[in-house]
């Protein structure tokens, strides 16, 4: 074969090879572009799924919150099954308390979820089977409402605060000049305000009670009511006692009796003062009543008000004969009064005994702070009394404090005679 023919054959083969390579290259490039497009599509699908998941989480969280609130107030819900039968779904506070006090959550999955998971956090557990809970807000608010109902503060019309910060601070005006009448073109006299600072921090009020472990294990709703009533009574009494007489020691608030600037200058008799109408007028005169929208009331022990009623009845027996003691006291005081066994009636002065304190003022200027988070409930069955007597200890705590905005709006008459 001639060289020319060989060269022609070689050229033809090279051309065919080049065409095949070019075609393969085009295919590879096309496949690569297709792969890139596929990856981009997959990435978009993934991103879209992420968005849907996040959106779904938010929706589920919102739904879950609504379910929690609903579960707290609903005793039972009936739904129809596919077979036409009824299935009972119920939330039981008794089961929740039983689980909290004994650790037995059998048949109480919903209650356990509510006690452990739904709430933001749990009180740190200690050794053994002990542990603690913060009651869900819907339930703790129920106990707080019971505490308020048992506390004279609600009737007094105090200002209630629910701070979210650990320390509540705000300024108060402790003094200022009055306004002035001025003539046309005359200068207005300069005045200065003086300021103070009110600071309120959480003070813990607590109650411990013990229940037998067998009773806790079979706890029903009536048993729960007994526990809640006992907790509410104890915390209400202790809270109001601290607000009247706390001295700031041992984590107590500084109560009204010990707040600097509150007048206590009415006790003049060596053996205690009789709560006559003149004496009561003098007490009222000690209080600045420049704020007409106030809630001016007297607070004292019931035995003190019985003495007031007796004095009025003795002075005007005919007029008093048809009146109840409450009417006699109201007429003598000249303002509404609240009778409370928390106000002391066992004080002594000279030869006087069973003497009481009488509080008077504008109670809308009295501030009560209850920190958010509700009532915390903790239990233990290890150590001390619980272990020795086969009991479960239940501890309830709440954080609170008090203050007043204007000290000149309160006056206290200590060492007042009672019946």
Q: Where are the domains of the chain?
A: 111-177+192-419
Determine which helix (DSSP H) or strand (DSSP E) holds 118, and give its type and residue range. Answer: none
- Which DSSP string corresponds to 66-85? HHHHHHHH-SEEEEE-TTS-
Q: Which residue has the higher pLDDT, 164 or 119?
A: 164
pTM of the model: 0.65
Beta partners for 412? 359
Task: Check if the beta carbon of residue 368 is closer than 8 Å to that of residue 243.
Answer: yes
Residue with token string 């009561």: 280
Q: Quote the Cα angle for 111-113-119, to 5°.
A: 105
Determine which helix (DSSP H) or strand (DSSP E) holds 61, and give its type and residue range. Answer: helix 3-73
- pLDDT of 403 above 70: yes
pLDDT computed for residue 283 by the predictor:
92
* Signed CA dihedral, 367, 371, 375, 379: sign only: negative
Task: Tell me the average pLDDT across 180-196.
Answer: 71
- pLDDT of 407 above 50: yes
Residue-wise pLDDT tens digits, 66-106: 545 544 444 433 333 334 444 445 667 777 777 766 667 77
Distance CA 337, CA 355 (A): 18
- pLDDT of 227 above 90: no
Helices (DSSP H) in 354-404: which residue ranges? 384-388
Q: Is 170 left (phi over 0), alpha (psi -120 to 50) or beta?
A: beta
Its CATH architecture, for the domain 111-177+192-419, is 2-Layer Sandwich (3.30)
């Amino acid at each position: 074969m001639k060289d020319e023919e060989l060269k022609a054959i070689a050229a033809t083969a090279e051309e065919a090879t080049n065409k095949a390579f070019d075609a393969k290259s085009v295919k590879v490039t096309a496949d690569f572009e297709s792969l890139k497009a596929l990856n981009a599509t997959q990435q978009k699908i993934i991103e879209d799924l992420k968005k849907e998941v996040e959106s779904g989480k938010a929706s589920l969280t919102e739904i879950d919150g609504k379910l929690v609130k609903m579960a707290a107030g609903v005793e039972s819900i009936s739904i129809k099954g596919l077979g036409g039968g009824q299935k009972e779904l119920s939330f039981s506070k008794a089961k929740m308390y039983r689980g909290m006090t004994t650790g037995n959550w059998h048949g109480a999955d919903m209650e356990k979820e509510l006690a452990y998971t739904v709430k933001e956090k749990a009180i740190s557990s200690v050794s053994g089977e002990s542990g603690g809970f913060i009651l869900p807000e819907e339930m703790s608010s129920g106990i707080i409402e019971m505490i308020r109902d048992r506390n004279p503060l609600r009737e007094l019309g105090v200002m209630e605060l629910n701070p979210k910060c650990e320390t509540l601070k705000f300024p108060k005006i402790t003094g200022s000049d009055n306004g002035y009448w001025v003539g046309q073109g005359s200068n207005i006299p300069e005045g200065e305000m003086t300021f103070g600072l009110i600071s309120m921090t959480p003070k813990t009020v607590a109650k411990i009670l013990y229940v037998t472990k067998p009773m806790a294990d079979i706890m029903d709703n009536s048993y729960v009511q007994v526990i809640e009533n006992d907790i509410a009574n104890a915390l209400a009494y202790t809270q109001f006692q601290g607000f009247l007489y706390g001295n700031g020691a041992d984590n107590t608030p500084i109560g009204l009796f010990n707040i600097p600037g509150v007048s206590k200058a009415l006790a003049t008799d060596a053996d205690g003062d009789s709560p006559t109408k003149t004496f009561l007028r003098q007490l009222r005169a000690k209080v600045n009543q420049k704020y007409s929208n106030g809630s001016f009331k007297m607070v004292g022990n019931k035995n003190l008000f019985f003495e007031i009623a007796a004095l009025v009845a003795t002075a005007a027996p005919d007029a008093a004969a048809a009146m109840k003691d409450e009417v006699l006291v109201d007429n003598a005081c000249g303002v509404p009064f609240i009778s409370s066994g928390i106000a002391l009636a066992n004080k002594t002065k000279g030869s006087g005994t069973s003497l009481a304190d009488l509080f008077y003022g504008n109670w809308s200027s009295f501030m009560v702070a209850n920190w958010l988070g509700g009532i915390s409930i903790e239990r233990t069955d290890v150590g001390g009394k619980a272990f020795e007597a086969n009991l479960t200890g239940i501890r309830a705590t709440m954080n609170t404090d008090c203050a007043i905005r204007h000290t000149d709006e309160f006056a206290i008459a200590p060492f007042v005679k009672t019946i």
